[in-house]
Each structure stands twice: as structure tokens, then as C-alpha cells.
Amino acid sequence: MESRRKIKPAGKIVLLLFAVAILGGGFNLWRSRGHEGTLVEKLTGSAATAPVALGSDQGKLGRPLRVAINQWPGFSPGLVANNGLAANKNSLNWKEYGLLVEYTIMDDPIAMTKAYAAGDLDVIWSTIDASATQLGGLKKGGADTRVFMQVDWSRGGDAIIAARGINSIEDLKGKTVALITQSPSEFLLQYGLRNSSLDETEQKAILNRMVGNDTPDQVISAFVAGKVDAIVTWEPNITAVLKSGADRGAHVILSTATIANAIGDVFMARSEFIQQNPEVVKKFAEAWFAGAREVNRNTQGAVDLMTSNLPMFKSLGRNQTLDTFAQVKITDMSDNIKTFGLDGKAPLYDSIFRNATDMYASRGVLESRVSPDESKNVTALQAYYASLPVEDQKAAPKEEFKFPAKQRELAKRAPAVFTKQITINFATNSAELTATSKAVLDKNVAGLAEIASNAFFRIEGNTDSKGNVDLNIGLSQRRAQAVVNYLVSKGFDANRLIPVGNGPTKPVASNETADGRAANRRTDIKVVAK
């Protein structure tokens, strides 16, 4: 079953919220005129009405705002706020914000881009990582386009799945991986490779053997047939391949359940449109966040209504539909404050966009490169932020790191999902961090911890072999704790940091030389999945 997103070169395929018809390689402006009413009625207390005839008095534009979305739970807030897909005056958009919105379901990124370039759409969707491959080409073609808001995070809905015997990113060495290229799947794979212990040559070899497919079904078929060793895909294809590939020992080796702030959906529009229609964009965002609050408040009700009224969700069934919502975080304004740094703090968006740009540039698939600042225009969000009461001008709080008590103990010994060496060295008999060591931690850990936001960080202290073993174990524990204390002082969640003292048991060099002993006086940082 095909569901989620594809970017090739400018988009993605996403889990079906509504049935879509693709006609002759073009797109069908499919509009529901009966099903969403029940959904909105249950979620917002508003009954649906038939779409209104379009007129010059409707909305700030003199016409509806034309928005392309695709079929994924993350886009449900807009449909709630709009009381369906079609522009109508019995919607939150109109009643509260005086705005008419017309949604078009478009899973075909090529068709969407053509419609956008032709001026038939005002707003289109993407992901943060994928926008890095799109914006340069759009600008070059005369459509300077900017990201203006975020709508969700993938939280387990994207994964690398491998056959029996492949238990880590490192184990992909010499293996073949199938995926849809220039999509969130490729970004996930590249991010995993870049944070592994594989060197650059080994990483490139895996990418060069990568098998690009056009559809999730092709990706799954290649794995089940034994033509590839691993795949990258999204739900519900993850569930499907874990079942159909059971004979091959199919299992997840990395997913967005661990790197929970890596893949996020966003909206984009022409820079000139955002500049000329600031109030429209602002009201659209406000209404969307109102819809997000409704969906987050009553997800169970939304699932029941979707499975009752929407063909694809009906075919998936209630449990699987509910699972799709469990693997997505629908974001609100507080999340957008954090993502775009509206409160003056470092924008998470910039880090992800820069990572994606670097990755795709190294692959030679960027038509042209843009900076994070050139890729976004969040003036509408800034205006909304400024209008909020002071108590609401707060970024989303740090998500509580929850885990069973046993998990912390298991994490002391569990294999690391990211094994790129982050090493802090120490003087003889010292557990004191130097300025250089602190700079290494600041540069290498902060961004990784933000993106791998649902993982443990195991801090492994080590010593050389000189001296008493028991004393060395104590010293190594103090070295690990020194790193933990520094990271906590920088705002890291102590619950995610696990200090371990290895003593002299894990040397990386010979203890017979001064240089070797210096290399062994170290603390290593490893990322471990919950």
C-alpha cells in the first residue's frame, strides 16, 4: 500500500487522508463535499454546509487562498479549520478570520510544481530537508519561494529497515539499500551515515550502490524479493514490510522515533505573495494552529471519523489509522517558535536545512544552493508572535524524556545507533575539561542532541593502563561525569545522559607509547535508542 511522501525532484508521497485521482499525468482537484462535515462537527462543534459560490467579497484576496496538501495526518488541522477541502463560509477560517481557503489534494510533486509555477496555487507543501533540493531551482525559474510555517514532525513514521544480520548503520557497508531518492528517506539514510563511524569513502560507497525507486511498492518488493539488503520507507509501508519481509528477518535499525526532530512538513509560498499578503498568511497560520489544537485534543474522535468517512483510512482500519497519528507530532505556534527561533534562540530549522543542503550538495543533486535565511520568510509568524500575550510568547517546552526504569540500565550496554566518534581527551590523572574539550562538546553534541531528541547519550569515560585498575575505573567515571555536568549546565536533560566508567578496558591505541596513552585518556559520546 502506498502512503506517504515522495520528492522527485520537488515533493513527496504521503499517507492517504483522502482519495485522489490522477488523470493523464496531471492532477485532479478532488474536493470532498460531504465527509468532512462530520469530522468538523465532532471536533469543532460546527456542522458543514455546501461550498459557497465564489465571489469578490470572499476573503482578503477577493478569492479563496489556494493551498496544495497531500495525504498525511499532519495536514489534518487545515481540514478541520476549513470544515473540509472546499472553500466555505461555515468554517473556522471564515467565521473567525474572514478567510476562504480552497485545499487541493496533490500527491504528485511534479504536477504540483507545474500548477504552482503556472500561478494556480498560492501555497504548496514540502519537508524541511526536501525544500533544500527545491528552492534553488524554483528561484532560478523565476518563482522565489520561501518556507513560512511548519505543520508537523515525523515521530517514527520514517525508518531504515534491514534484513537479518544487519543491526546498525555500520553493517550497511558492502550492502545495497533501496529507497525513493531526494525524499525524506534519502535524508534519513544520509543523516545516519554521517553520524556513523564509517569514513567518507565508505559512506559514499553505500550511497553509490543505493537503488532509487519511484514508488514505495517498488521499494518493498525489492526487499521482499531479496534484491536489496535494506530499504528506507515510511508508514504504513514500515508495518507492511516488517510483515511481508519476516522471512528475511526484517527489522528497524533507525527511525524518526529516535531522531525525532529531523523530518518535518512545511508550507511554502512565493516571496512576493508573502510580502503582498501578510495578513492573509498570518490569518491562515492562526487558523491552522487552531485546527491543530482541535486535532491534538481529540485525536481518537478524528480517527473514528476518518475511518468511517474516508476511503483510504477505511481500508487501513482504525488501529492502523491511529498508529499513523501516533507517529506524527502535529505542531502548533509554540513549536513554530522553537523551530524558527522566534524567541531569539537558535532556530532548529536552520540546522536541519543546512544539514540537508550539505548532504545533497555532496551528492551533486542541487540545482543551486540557498542559505537558511534565503529559504524562509516567517514574518507572518513573527507578527502573530508579537500579537500574543506575553505568557503565550513561549516556545514549546522541552519534551519530557520518558522511559521505563530498566531502559536506563540497558542503555549502559546497548549498541549505539550513532557511533561517530565524539571524543574528549584529558591530562594524566585529571577529570577536568579544557576549553578545547568544551568547544568540541558545544560544536558536536548540541545539534545532534536536538535532532536525536528521543535518545540516550552514553558518556563513556576511559583511562590508560598505568596505575591501579580500581582507581582508574573511578577516574574514568569522574571523567564521564565531568562531561555530563557540563552538558547539564548547558541545558541538556540529565535523564538522557548516562555516565559510564570503563577504566582501561577499552583502549583505542597502544598503552606502550606516550601518544597511545594520551589517546586512551578520553571520554566518548554515543547515541543509544530508547
The 8-class DSSP code of residue 161 comes to E
The CA distance from 36 to 305, in Å, is 9
Among 3.30.565.10, 3.30.70.1560, 3.50.50.60, 3.40.190.10, what is the CATH number of 158-255?
3.40.190.10
Burial 229-253 (b: 16+ CB within 10 A, else e): bbbbbbbbbbebbeeebeebebbbb
Q: What is the pLDDT of residues 25-77, one digit of tens each?
A: 222 222 222 223 334 454 444 444 444 444 434 446 889 999 998 877 888 88
Which of 44-53, 159-168, 330-339 shows the lowest mean pLDDT across its residues? 44-53
Is the pLDDT confidence value at 309 over 60? no
Looking at per-residue pLDDT, the higher value among 68 and 363 belongs to: 68
Q: What is the pLDDT of residues 210-251, one digit of tens each?
A: 999 888 889 999 999 999 999 999 887 898 899 999 999 999
Q: How many CA atoms lie within 13 A of 288 on its CB side?
A: 30
For 36-155+262-330, CATH gives 3.40.190.10
Answer whether 179's CB lies under 8 Å from 159's CB: no
Same fold across 36-155+262-330 and 405-529: no
The whole-chain average pLDDT of the chain stands at 84
Cell digits of residue 58: 470572499
pLDDT band at 491 (very low <50, low <70, confident <90, very high): confident
pLDDT of residue 235: 82
- Among 417, 403, 483, smallest CA distance to 445 is for 483
β pairing state of 101-105 and 251-255: unpaired
Contacts of 246 (CB under 8 A, 6+ apart): none
- First and final CA of the chain: distance in angstroms? 29
Q: What is the pLDDT of residues 383-403, one digit of tens each?
A: 999 999 998 888 888 777 767
Decide: pTM greater than 0.85: no
Q: Which CATH architecture has domain 405-529?
A: 2-Layer Sandwich (3.30)
The SS3 call for residue 26 is coil
Across 444-462, average pLDDT? 89
Query: Is the alpha carbon torsion for 26, 119, 152, 109 positive or negative?
Result: positive
Q: What is the pLDDT of residues 90-126, one digit of tens each?
A: 889 999 999 999 998 887 777 888 899 999 999 999 9
The CA distance from 283 to 99, in Å, is 7
Burial 365-383 (b: 16+ CB within 10 A, else e): ebeeebebeebbbbebbee
Q: How many CA atoms lie within 13 A of 524 on its CB side?
A: 21
Report phi then psi at 234, rounded to 5: -140, 170
- Helix or strand (DSSP H, E) at 2: none
Q: What is the pLDDT of residues 337-359, one digit of tens each?
A: 999 999 998 899 999 999 999 99
**Interaxial angle between packed helices 184-194 and 348-363, expressed in degrees from 0 to 180 and rounded to the nearest 10:** 90
Within 246-371, residue ranges assigned H as helices are 271-276, 278-297, 299-309, 311-316, 318-326, 333-340, 348-363
Is the pLDDT confidence value at 178 over 90? yes
For 480, counting Cβ atoms within 10 Å of its Cβ (0-12 exposed, 13-18 middle, 19+ buried), the class is buried
Q: What is the pLDDT of residues 244-261, one digit of tens each?
A: 999 999 999 999 999 999
Is the pLDDT confidence value at 14 over 90? no
Looking at per-residue pLDDT, the higher value among 118 and 20 belongs to: 118
Answer whether 8's CB lies under 8 Å from 2's CB: no
The 8-class DSSP code of residue 418 comes to B
Contacts of 250 (CB under 8 A, 6+ apart): 161, 162, 163, 223, 241, 242, 244
Segments making up each domain of the chain, as ranges = 36-155+262-330, 158-255, 405-529
Cell digits of residue 84: 473540509
The CA distance from 112 to 106, in Å, is 6
Looking at per-residue pLDDT, the higher value among 10 and 427 belongs to: 427
Looking at per-residue pLDDT, the higher value among 145 and 491 belongs to: 145
- Helix or strand (DSSP H, E) at 207: helix 200-209
Cell digits of residue 454: 528521543
- Amino acid in the structure at residue 18: F
